Amino acid sequence: MYKVFVNDKPLFLTNQVAKETDFQLFLLESIDIEQLIVKMFNNKIKKAYLYYPDEKEILKKVKAKIPVKKAGGGLVYNQNGEVLFILRNGKWDLPKGGVERDEAIDETALREVEEETGVHPLKITRKLQKTYHIFKRGGKYRLKITHWFEMKTHFEGVPVPQANEGIEKVAWLNPEQVQEALQNSYENIKLLFEEIKMPQ
């Protein structure tokens, strides 16, 4: 099952029909996906399931109906076990950005973290899960698939927010501050932290 966020509301891509009642179920083959997205953006639908019998094919089917944008991002730890966060549009987020031509996804993640925060050198320590969310740009809806990497750095300078990307602040947060920041973050960022165990 995949979890795609539409305006921070979950759209589950599933090959199972559960007997729940707190969501609406749609058939992927027959749904006008754009109408469903509009309803979710306008808060008319809070949670939905898109059903398709073959789990291996389900994401391919969705990608055929909506343009995809690939991005790479980093969950960066410093030597004190703090995590690098950015503040953009009044919400805490992790540094990430779109793939450039002929760029490998891990290169994208490293470049974007450095550009958005000024933090370097960075070393990827492992690949994390991908997250999925739908956004609107130029009047069109797109599915953003972000590939996340855990990174470490010995950087000791002052991080610098990339102002032309709308980043207001860059901060190293300790585990307690991370929990606080997640209260004012995005659902797909919270998912990443569910996957990892924060150092105590």
Q: Determine how β-strand 91-93 pairs with β-strand 83-88.
A: antiparallel
Which two tokens mark 113? 């973290």
Predicted local confidence at residue 200, as pLDDT:
44
Closest CA to 4 of 181, 191, 138, 149: 191
Which two tokens mark 167? 């980043």
Predicted local confidence at residue 21, as pLDDT:
65
Q: How many CB atoms lie within 10 A of CB 13?
A: 19
Predicted local confidence at residue 197, as pLDDT:
62
Predicted local confidence at residue 22, as pLDDT:
76
Query: CA-to-CA distance for 197 and 200, rounded, in angstroms?
Result: 9
8 Å CB contact between 101 and 70: no
Domains and CATH numbers, the chain: 2-65 (no CATH), 68-195 (3.90.79.10)
Query: CA-to-CA distance for 111 and 79, rounded, in angstroms?
Result: 20
Spell out, as residue ranges, where the chain has pLDDT lower than 70.
20-21, 197-200
pTM, two decimals, is 0.93
Predicted local confidence at residue 198, as pLDDT:
54
8 Å CB contact between 170 and 117: yes
8 Å CB contact between 73 and 94: yes
